[in-house]
Structure formats: C-alpha cells, structure tokens
C-alpha cells in the first residue's frame, strides 16, 4: 500500500515508479503514458510559445510596414505641397497652403517651407539630422510678421508606430516674437499623403491647432 503520496513520473524511463508495496505498469501502459506525457509537453510548449512567436512576428511585420510606409527624409527629399487650417482657442480659423523644397545629404535633411497666407508669404527653414533609426534633432528658423528671420531654435524628433513627432519651442510663421510650443504629429496615409496634426501651446496649455495634409506630386501609394 502507498502512504498516500504520489510518486513522480519519469519521462526518461517511460513508466511510473512503483509505490511502496506496489507494482510497475506493463509495457503497453508505460508506452501510452509516455505518449500522453509528451503530448501534454508538446501542447504546453506549442500553446505557450506560438502566441508569443506570433506576436513577435506581427510586431516585426508592423515595424517593417511602418518603415516602408513613411520615411520623413524620403518624403521631403524634393518637392512637396501642403494645405491646412489653423484654429485658435477662440474658434478663429485661417486657411493656408505651403510649398516644400528639400534635399537629403546622408543623414541630414535641409528643407525650405514657404507658407502662403491671406496676408502674404512666410518662410521656415528646417535642418534635421537622423541621429538614430528612431530619433531626429536639428533646428528650425521662422520668418516673423515683420519679415525678419527669428534665430534658429532646437528641434527634437522621434518615430512612433505610425509616423514621426517633431517638437520645439519656437515662433509662429508670420507671428511675433512670442515663444510658443509646437508639436507636429505626422502620420502616413494609405493614399500616399501625410497627415500632420500640430498642437500649439503656451505655458503648457494648448492655444491653437493646425490640421495639414502633405502631398508629393505624382505620388502613387505610400512612400
């Protein structure tokens, strides 16, 4: 008789050890037990590892898709255009357009952005460097309302799952010398265009937003 404790199964010999005073299973029983054991091990490994592996594959596929869908430097290398609106906290809205001319040289992008507002044209110049696969840094220089170019201010950027974020404290094109916070969130669209949502803030509080669509002439599909 056993003392009530369950003896462990040994997969190396393929049979249940005999309990105290008990007997060993026959060859047929041990074979079935071994098959059942390895089936349980296989299922445990399969069900545990497969979802994790599938998640890794899906994540890698999404990352590759993002890389193929939108590259900041590739999109702005050459000529592009945009249309957009600016809406302030008091619900005043202004429309504008812009023309971009960019040049990529290795890890740097030099970009000229010329806005057209109802009261005239304004210029911004970007100088961005890709310092890591997911990170950017550089400067932006902005033309003020009186035609002067405000000094360059630092810009930081980072890739995320669907696009790129650029953030800086600088000046509004055609505005005054009030320093404002700008956060550009760019997302690639299925039709090859890029959506840019800009949040403008002061003392950390949003005071205006801008919705912009970037286009490349003759673009066919995502870039």
Q: Sorting pLDDT into bands at 50, 70 and 90, what band is 220?
A: very low
Structure confidence by residue, pLDDT tens digits, 68-117: 457 999 999 999 999 999 999 888 999 999 999 999 999 999 999 999 99
DSSP assignment of 45-114: HHHHHHHHHHHHHHHHHHHHHHHHH--HHHHTSEEEEEEEEEEETT--EEEEEEEEEEEEETTEEEEEEE
State residue 45's pLDDT score. 36
Residue 167: exposed, middle, or buried by beta-carbon count in 10 A (0-12, 13-18, 19+)? middle
State residue 215's pLDDT score. 97
Q: Are 80 and 100 in contact (CB under 8 A)?
A: yes
3-state class of 161 per DSSP? Answer: coil
Ordered by start, the domain boundaries in the chain are 1-69, 72-215
pLDDT of 201 above 90 = yes
pTM of the complete model = 0.68
Instruction: Give the percent of the chain with pLDDT over 70.
Output: 67
Structure confidence by residue, pLDDT tens digits, 138-186: 999 999 999 999 989 999 999 987 899 999 999 999 999 999 999 999 9
**Rounded mean pLDDT of the chain?**
78
Q: Sorting pLDDT into bands at 50, 70 and 90, what band is 66?
A: very low
* Whole-number Å distance between alpha carbons of 125 and 77: 14
Structure confidence by residue, pLDDT tens digits, 8-17: 333 333 333 4
The CATH superfamily holding the domain 72-215 is Calycin beta-barrel core domain (2.40.128.20)
Per the listing, tokens 């400067």 go with 139
């Amino acid at each position: 008789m056993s003392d009530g404790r369950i003896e462990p199964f040994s997969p190396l010999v393929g049979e249940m050890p005999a309990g105290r005073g008990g007997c060993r299973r026959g060859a047929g029983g041990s074979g079935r037990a071994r098959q059942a054991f390895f089936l349980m091990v296989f299922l445990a490994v399969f069900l545990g590892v497969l979802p994790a592996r599938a998640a890794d594959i899906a994540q890698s596929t999404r990352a590759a898709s993002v890389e193929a869908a939108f590259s900041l430097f590739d999109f702005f290398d050459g000529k592009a255009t945009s249309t957009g609106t600016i809406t302030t906290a008091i619900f005043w809205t202004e429309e504008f357009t812009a023309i971009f001319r960019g040049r990529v040289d290795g890890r740097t992008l030099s970009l000229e952005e010329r806005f057209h507002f109802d009261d005239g044209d304004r210029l911004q110049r970007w100088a961005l460097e890709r310092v890591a696969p997911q990170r950017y840094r550089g400067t932006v220089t902005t033309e003020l309302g009186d035609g002067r170019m405000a000094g360059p201010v630092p810009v930081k950027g980072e890739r995320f799952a669907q696009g790129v974020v650029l953030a800086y404290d600088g000046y509004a094109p055609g505005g005054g010398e009030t320093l404002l916070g700008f956060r550009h969130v760019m997302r690639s669209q299925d039709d090859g265009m890029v959506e840019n949502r800009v949040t403008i803030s002061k003392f950390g509080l949003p005071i205006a937003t801008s919705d912009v669509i970037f286009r490349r002439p003759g673009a066919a599909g995502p870039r």
